[in-house]
Structure 1
Amino acid sequence: MSTPPRIMPKPFNAAPQGFWRATPPAIFPPIMGLMGLGLAWRNAARVIPGAPVWIGEMLLGAFSLLYLFALLTYFAKMARRPSVIAEDLRILPGRAGLAAGADTGFLFAAALVPYSAGAAKTVLVLSLIALTVVALLIIRSFTLGPAEQRRVTPAWHLSFVGYILAPLSAVPLGWVGLSQFLFATTLPIAAAIWIISAMQFAKADVPPPLRPLLAIHIAPLSLFGIVATLVGYTTLALAFAWIGVTALIVYLVGVRYLTKGDFSALWGAFTFPLAAFANMMFAAATLTPVPFRIVGGLELVAATLVIVYIASKIMQIWMRGKLSKATNAATV
């Protein structure tokens, strides 16, 4: 009589069956960087003579599909157990990722503007609602969670200053008043985060694994420069542009400090600030072509290589089913 085959127990912490059941929010920051990169190539074609138009549109089409796929997989995870979003918000990668997911909606709306004003308006409104819901849930998580969770981090820009992305589509759609309101209300919040972060940095060093998050500070700075250009605040726009150039030089000098830790999903924080800076240079180039057009073109080439490299590595980790466990994302 043959012995029946032994059924081995399921390994502890094994990845759940079904790709969508473990979708980590950490996929959204690099996708945000890719969408910003596509917009940067679109804007480059507008200010750099001879720059091909098709590159930006091709990239925006491909990255928009990736964004929609990522949203679908996360919504499928939420549909099985809606409370999973509260679990993701308890950890830093989850909070940053979900905020970036809502923020990327603003970039998607900007990508849609030349093709369908109606679709762009719909996506813009939905993104405003989504970011507001995420921000309120994060505040609730801060209230219920430990005090350490309420420590100010650069990722707060994504949650509470991300509205500044809305004017990228709102101004072309004619919603200038809304854009001016968002500029006026988010600038003090960003300034408070910059000041508190600087004070914390002066008191204690940032652990190597968290240092990539410091790059986020340059993203709102760049976006304020872009929006100031769009709404006609010329002096402010040029001031932000020069401050941005100075900040980028500082970051480049400190790149070894920022990248001292091993590669992780938090490296996605390098992507969207690089894209935002390129877009700011091209916005400033509409006011003063030299030197911003040159700086923007050079930075865009370098940013393309860096953003695509980081995003592709994070996407590979995701596709192998390891990103969820690496970022402690909730599973269903």
Structure 2
Amino acid sequence: MQAPSMDPSRPIVEPSGKSSVRNLPVNLFASVMGLSGLALAWRLAHDRFGAPAFVGEAIGAFALGVFVLVALGYLTKLAQHPQAVRAEFQHPVAGNFFGTIAISVLLLSAVVEPYSAAAARATWTIGVLAAFALSFVAVSRLLKGQVDASHAMPAWLIPGVATLDIAVTGGHMPMAWASEINLFAGAVGAVLALVLFAMIVSRLVHRDPLVPAMTPSLMILVAPFAVGFLAYVNIIGGIDRFAALLFYFGLFMFAVVAPKVFRRGIGFSAAWWAIGFPMAALANAALKYADFRASGPHGVLAAVLLGLLSVALAVLTVRTVRSALDGALFS
């Protein structure tokens, strides 16, 4: 017999109409991912274009502050409503967004590295453990069998991308064991992301389109290739033709999904933060590739992607703050 199907578009907890921390979604950690990625992109822009250094550092500090606020909120939810957290973790789609916590921690290790190498090492190690644990859980769930194919959503990619991010942020870690961990993470993350990417594309081709509220998550399809580029470059220590292939396919996927995501009729919710990190990864990849090629068109492309990312995250930040102040974010 096939296990009962769960509609992935339905709320995990039925809405009560009241504003409560019980309704704080775990995918709000994606805001930290996007902002941290933006901070790292502006650091690269400082090196490539001479952009003001304080911009990236200010955004990094803001990302750290957002992480503290969201983490405190979610810990409060865990303490007061553990059943809601359990339901979220066990959900076939939303459960994958717990990977946003691991990615946030890994990216913040890169943000704080210029200020404290010890804090960066400790933070990165915590992120490594969390990313591997979540990848293990995700694969174990899939191998139980009887998984409804309609649950193959872009969010499934998050655990694999989290594992790839170990290599993205661990390239400069001085520990003797870090290089082997980066290789292990690259192997697990790359294969897992590609297998799940194929499953998700198959679902998108053969099943009904995503409901409008889930449409922003299509941007996650860019992440395996943009993050894969960054991870591969860190592992081998340079950019070669295979790295270029990863970058260009990530750029192609962005061109395909952007018109589907950025269109009228999709209301604002925390789910919109799903666009942040994939766009940030692509902008960082473009900046690195432009620096490698040292050509004008590549530099223009990188600047355009950074500008689009900056505007998108500024809008999302303002909308999220407004939603939190009027209580809609918690209702």
Q: Give the TM-score of the pair, scaled to structure 2.
A: 0.83
**Partner of residue 75, structure 1:** 75
Residues 39 and 203 (structure 1 numbering): CA distance in 2 closer, same or farther, change over 3 Å?
same
Report the CA distance between 1:215 and its aligned residue: 0.8
Report the CA distance between 1:21 and its aligned residue: 5.1
**Partner of residue 39, structure 1:** 40
- Asked if the contact 2:96/2:159 (under 8 Å) is kept, the reply is yes
- Asked if the contact 1:34/1:308 (under 8 Å) is kept, the reply is no
Q: Deviations over 1:55-88 (max 9, x none)?
A: 0011101111111121122122223454442122
Query: Which amino acid in the other structure matches residue 181 of structure 2?
Result: L
Query: Which amino acid in the other structure matches residue 155 of structure 1?
Result: A
**Partner of residue 118, structure 1:** 118
Residues 315 and 91 (structure 1 numbering): CA distance in 2 closer, same or farther, change over 3 Å?
farther
**Partner of residue 196, structure 1:** 199
The reply to whether residue 179 of structure 1 matches residue 182 of structure 2 is yes
**Partner of residue 26, structure 2:** 25
- Asked if the contact 1:155/1:216 (under 8 Å) is kept, the reply is yes
Following the alignment from structure 2 to structure 1, what is the Cα–Cα distance between the partners of residues 54 and 303? 16
Report the CA distance between 1:292 and its aligned residue: 2.8
Report the CA distance between 1:254 and its aligned residue: 4.0
Mapping of residues 290-309 of structure 1, within 5 Å: 290=295, 291-309=297-315
Q: Deviations over 1:113-134 (max 9, x none)?
A: 1111111111111112233444
**Partner of residue 64, structure 2:** 64
> Aligned to 2:292, what secondary structure does the other structure show?
coil
Report the CA distance between 1:287 and its aligned residue: 1.9
> Aligned to 1:234, what secondary structure does the other structure show?
coil
**Partner of residue 213, structure 2:** 209
**Partner of residue 221, structure 1:** 225
Query: Which amino acid in the other structure matches residue 153 of structure 2?
Result: T
Mapping of residues 1-332 of structure 1, within 5 Å: 13=16, 15=18, 20=21, 22-48=23-49, 50-91=50-91, 94-135=94-135, 147-148=147-148, 151-174=151-174, 175-207=178-210, 208-231=212-235, 232=237, 234-235=239-240, 236-255=242-261, 260-290=265-295, 291-325=297-331
Residues 80 and 210 (structure 1 numbering): CA distance in 2 closer, same or farther, change over 3 Å?
closer
Q: Give the TM-score of the pair, scaled to structure 1.
A: 0.83
- Asked if the contact 2:160/2:188 (under 8 Å) is kept, the reply is no
Following the alignment from structure 1 to structure 2, what is the Cα–Cα distance between the partners of residues 144 and 79? 30
Following the alignment from structure 1 to structure 2, what is the Cα–Cα distance between the partners of residues 254 and 96? 22
Following the alignment from structure 1 to structure 2, what is the Cα–Cα distance between the partners of residues 36 and 132? 21
Structure 1: stretches of 5+ with no match in the other structure = 1-11, 326-332
Residues 215 and 121 (structure 1 numbering): CA distance in 2 closer, same or farther, change over 3 Å?
same
Following the alignment from structure 2 to structure 1, what is the Cα–Cα distance between the partners of residues 138 and 264? 28
Report the CA distance between 1:51 and its aligned residue: 1.3
Following the alignment from structure 2 to structure 1, what is the Cα–Cα distance between the partners of residues 131 and 149? 19
**Partner of residue 328, structure 1:** none
Following the alignment from structure 1 to structure 2, what is the Cα–Cα distance between the partners of residues 116 and 302? 31
Report the CA distance between 1:210 and its aligned residue: 2.0
Residues 245 and 32 (structure 1 numbering): CA distance in 2 closer, same or farther, change over 3 Å?
same
**Partner of residue 4, structure 1:** none
Q: Deviations over 1:183-238 (max 9, x none)?
A: 12211111112211222222124233322111101112111111222222522222
Residues 199 and 138 (structure 1 numbering): CA distance in 2 closer, same or farther, change over 3 Å?
closer
Point out which structure has higher relative CO (alpha carbons under 8 A, 6+ apart): 1
Query: Identity over aligned residues, as a percent?
Result: 22
- Asked if the contact 1:25/1:93 (under 8 Å) is kept, the reply is no
**Partner of residue 3, structure 1:** none
Task: State which drifts further: 209-218 or 310-319.
Answer: 310-319
**Partner of residue 7, structure 2:** none
Structure 2: stretches of 5+ with no match in the other structure = 1-14
Q: How many residues align?
A: 310
Following the alignment from structure 1 to structure 2, what is the Cα–Cα distance between the partners of residues 71 and 145? 33
> Aligned to 1:261, what secondary structure does the other structure show?
coil
Query: Which amino acid in the other structure matches residue 196 of structure 1?
Result: M
Report the CA distance between 1:145 and its aligned residue: 11
Larger radius of gyration between Structure 1 and Structure 2? 1
